[in-house]
Every structure is written in C-alpha cells, then in structure tokens.
Amino acid sequence: MSIESQNVTDYPNTNTIFMVWTFKDDPQLKTIFQQLCALILNLNNSAFNRFPDSRVSCVMGIGYDAWKKLELPKPLPKELAEFEEIKGVKHTAVSTPGDLHFHLRADNQSLIFDMAVEISKLISSVAESILEVHGFKYWDARSILGFVDGTENPHGSDRDYFAKIGDEDKQYKGGSYLFVQKYLHNMDAWKGLSTDEQEKVIGRSKENDIEMSDEVKPSNSHIALANIEGENGEELKIVRDNMPFGNPSTNEFGTYFIAYASTFTTVKKMLTNMFIGDPPGNYDRILDFSTAMTGTLFFVPTRNMLDEFSG
C-alpha cells in the first residue's frame, strides 16, 4: 500500500482556521478519537470531490501527551516530545499545552467554517478548545508588519523532502512534525520605525522583497538568523504556512507561525538562533516587536495511520 500523507505541503490559502484542543478526562475519549480520524478523512475526501478547485484541506496534528493518553503506536515518532521553552536574555519561546491541532484552509471561507463546526461538534464532549485563530491572506502574501512572509519556502519536490519524514523513521514515513506559535505584534512600536529601520529588522526590502546583501544585512536581522544551515553547509528548510490575523477594534494583530518539518531539530535550531542568538545575545530583532504567546509541537500522522486509528 502506498503512503498517503496529510496535506502538509499544500500552499497557504486565502482563508485559514487554526484550532488547538486539550483533552478532558472522559471515558469516551478513545471512541470519539476513532470517530474523529474517520471524520477528518471524510471531510477531506468530500471537499475535494465536491469542490476540486477550492484548494481545501484539513490537517490534524497530535501532541505528545495525547499520543500517550490515546495509547497510539509505540515507539513514538523519534522527535515527538513536549516542547521545552527556549529562553534568551530578553525573549522566550514559550511552551504551551495542546493535544490536537487542526489546520483548515480553503479559498472559500464557508468550507472551512463548516469543517470547524463538524469537528467541534464531535469532540467538544471530550476536549476543550483553548485557541482558535482565523487567518487571512493579506495583500500579496504579506504579514501585518507589511513584509512578504514565506519567501524562503521550498518549492516542488523540495516541499516533500523538507516537510515529510523519510526512511530515517520508517514506521512514521510520510508523517510530519508540526510546530506552531501565535505571535502578537506591537504595531505602534513597529510603525514608529522608518521604512529603512524596518528593512534592517527584517533583512529585506519592504516594497520589492529583495534580500539585502551579506555586507549590508544586519547580523541580528530576521533573515540572517531564521535561515539556517547544517554542519556541512547544507540548507535546512521547513514548510511555513504562516497566516496573519487581526482584530482592529481591540488593536490585536499577529502572525500564526506554523511549520511542517521532516525533523523537529531543524525548527529547534531556527528558534534557538532567533531567541538565544548566534552568537548568544545576538537575538532576532523582530522579537522586540513580536511576542510569542504560544508554542506547541505536534505530530501529523499519514492518512494511512488515520485510517488505522479510526478502527
């Protein structure tokens, strides 16, 4: 049987809903989880058949504690664990709870709204919703900060290579590590910077999205620290599906950072660079304007595994 992954390599869409749930202590949990796995498969298949051009998908990730509580296969995926906070001299990548994560996306907001309703209706008796974020495409794929987001994302076959587990963990081949953070932006402080100062924080031009040369780019710019390499100089990438969100009436604006990766080590190295700095103390300047409110690691099983879990 061929391995079918969940839609972790789909490109960011116009509309997105992110949901994080934690389990209650309920004797029906395992039964509801079986039904949930079947529902996720059904929602994806039905939406694709009914609206093949809508680029709709629902991806479910499972946290470390949830994996153990549900008594899912052992040994666990090699790098699935509770995310440990990364504390720098000024900023911290916090660790927050989460048993299930849902990433819903579509051109048509109605599709993912209905998906979210069905998921919530099924699991609300055994789980509690602790986070729901509605993201949207802002202009030409820009964050609320005004800069294009995701320029360094891999394309083509590289998306599979960097997002999905390979032969290094054959039991979970085709699965993916999913890491998420909800960032809130201090827009007043950000808008207090000139365009030139903002560009130095990011490491790219604001209008044309052109990366600064190494001679000009500050060592603490976001691009300088978030783009990482391996020990032998090889590129280490992740598949980002970041989406902006905002509530103008409450002055809450942010970015939901979401990364799919074949290994969590890559994500951790990037976060360490950003929050601790390279060298230590030379942290990512964007963190002076963007605060990580959450931080949770999940594992995205293949569709084959969801089918097995559904009983």
- Of the candidates 5, 23, 36, the residue with the CA atom closest to the CA atom of residue 309: 36
Residue with tokens 């959450």: 294
23 Cβ contact partners less than 8 Å away, ≥ 6 residues apart: 29, 66, 69, 99, 100, 126, 127, 128
Looking at residue 109, its amino acid is Q
* Full DSSP string of 206-241: TTT-PBPPTTTS-TTSHHHHHSEE-TTS-EE--EE-
Catalytically active residues are: 149
58 Cβ contact partners less than 8 Å away, ≥ 6 residues apart: 7, 40, 43, 44, 47, 102, 103, 104, 112, 115, 119
Q: How far is CA 279 from CA 10, 88, 225, 249, in A?
A: 35, 11, 10, 40
Neighbour tally for 227: CB within 10 Å? 15
Residues 125/32, Cβ–Cβ less than 8 Å: yes
Residues 93/106, Cβ–Cβ less than 8 Å: no
Beta-sheet pairing, 100-106 with 239-240: unpaired
Residues 140/47, Cβ–Cβ less than 8 Å: no
Q: Can you say how many angstroms the Cα of residue 32 is from the centroid of all Cα atoms in its chain?
A: 25
